[in-house]
């Protein structure tokens, strides 16, 4: 009996010793692996939250992971500066191309310029040939593909002419992921606010011969989902325009300007300064609330003045969650319908 007790005591003692040994060895062999895993886990992010809260300095949230933020490509002399800054000693001209700072540049184009008329006519015809409606694309119908719209929007001369000639365009901003597929958006309060902001520009919207509605999506999901999101934003803005102009349904659009909508894929994000100087236009930004509109307006004013802005990485994402509404007042474009 005493042997059994001794044996049991030895077993208990041996077990306790091994437990202590394992506790000592565990941090030595396993702690480095845990640190690596924690580092990998830290790279997972939520695009609905500010990048500064979840990604290290120099990174932003792309497709659900913190990714190094590459500086925008620098444009050289004669190259387009719509989406990126010019090289040292150059400035972005009215035609949205880089030129020496001391070089006299031509004034911004207007409706009477042949280049503007040609760009508007070609964009209109291309849109009409490639699509039935944005609604068709949103619902999965026979609309144009993302590659086709990429080719359309990649035409620097046409897009530069369009942006330079019509500075009174409206920029409408959206929260991350909104509108969602097959879900009603926005809520009545947000809808009333955004439609009311559009209604302040009702005269320009009604008198336009056509309205270009250009949507963008920041890289929050995979490229296909981002592109579909850009199309849903276009569709939402077109419906808000109907509300602002007192049209009860899209079929009543025939009495007003032609709506031409297109979406830009998320693999072509616009740099923050380039957006403020070349895309935002002269009108106050329209967001889902007055406070959000004022925040964006203050940030854009600081950028134009060359001052630093807080939350820069989140702002870069905000300006790619946008729909531009460009009223085109040029005569002769309505016949292209």
Q: Clarify whether residues 97 and 164 are in a common domain.
A: no
Domain that holds residue 103: 73-107
Q: Clarify whether residues 45 and 174 are in a common domain.
A: no
Q: Clarify whether residues 203 and 219 are in a common domain.
A: yes
Check if the beta carbon of residue 266 is closer than 8 Å to that of residue 226.
yes
Phi-psi region of 44 (alpha: psi -120 to 50; beta: other; left: phi over 0): beta
Q: Clarify whether residues 219 and 280 are in a common domain.
A: yes
Q: Clarify whether residues 225 and 78 are in a common domain.
A: no
Quick one: which of 3, 292, 327, 31 has its CA closest to 167? 327
Q: Clarify whether residues 158 and 94 are in a common domain.
A: no
Report the domain count for the chain.
3
β partners of residue 172: 286, 323
**What pTM, to 2 d.p., does this model score?**
0.72
Q: Clarify whether residues 152 and 283 are in a common domain.
A: yes
Per-residue model confidence as pLDDT tens digits over 77-120:
988 888 888 899 998 888 888 999 888 877 878 888 888 888 77
β partners of residue 97: 80
Q: Clarify whether residues 77 and 52 are in a common domain.
A: no
Q: Clarify whether residues 179 and 325 are in a common domain.
A: yes
Per-residue model confidence as pLDDT tens digits over 185-215:
899 999 999 999 999 999 999 888 878 888 8
Q: Clarify whether residues 94 and 127 are in a common domain.
A: no
Q: Clarify whether residues 161 and 241 are in a common domain.
A: yes
């Amino acid at each position: 009996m005493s042997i059994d007790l001794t044996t049991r005591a030895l077993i208990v003692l041996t077990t306790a010793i091994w437990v202590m040994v394992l506790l000592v060895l565990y941090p030595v062999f396993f702690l480095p692996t845990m640190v690596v895993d924690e580092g990998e886990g830290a790279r997972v992010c939520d695009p609905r939250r500010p990048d500064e809260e979840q990604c290290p300095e120099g990174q932003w949230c792309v497709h659900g992971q913190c990714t190094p933020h590459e500086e925008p490509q620098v444009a050289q002399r004669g190259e387009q500066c719509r989406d990126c800054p010019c090289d040292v000693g150059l400035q972005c001209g009215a035609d949205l191309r880089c030129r020496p700072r001391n070089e006299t540049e031509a004034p911004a184009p207007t409706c009477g310029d042949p280049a503007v008329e040609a760009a508007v006519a070609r964009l209109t015809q291309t849109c009409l040939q490639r699509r039935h409606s944005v609604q068709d694309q949103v619902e999965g119908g026979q609309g144009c593909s993302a590659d086709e719209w990429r080719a359309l929007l990649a035409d620097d001369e046409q897009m530069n002419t369009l942006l330079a000639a019509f500075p009174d365009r409206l920029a409408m901003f959206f929260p991350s992921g909104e509108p969602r597929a097959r879900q009603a958006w926005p809520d009545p309060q947000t809808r009333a606010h955004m439609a009311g902001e559009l209604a302040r520009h009702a005269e320009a919207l009604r008198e336009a011969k056509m309205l270009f509605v250009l949507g963008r999506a920041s890289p929050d999901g995979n490229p296909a989902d981002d592109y579909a999101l850009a199309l849903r934003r276009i569709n939402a803005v077109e419906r808000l325009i109907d509300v602002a102009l007192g049209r009860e349904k899209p079929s009543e659009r025939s009495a007003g300007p032609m709506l031409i909508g297109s979406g830009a894929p998320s693999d072509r994000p616009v740099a923050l300064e380039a957006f403020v100087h070349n895309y935002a236009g002269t009108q106050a930004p329209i967001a889902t609330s007055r406070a959000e509109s004022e925040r964006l307006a203050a940030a854009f004013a600081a950028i134009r003045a060359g001052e630093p802005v807080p939350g820069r990485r989140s702002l870069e994402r905000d300006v790619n969650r946008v729909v531009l509404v460009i009223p085109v007042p040029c005569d002769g474009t309505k016949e292209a319908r």
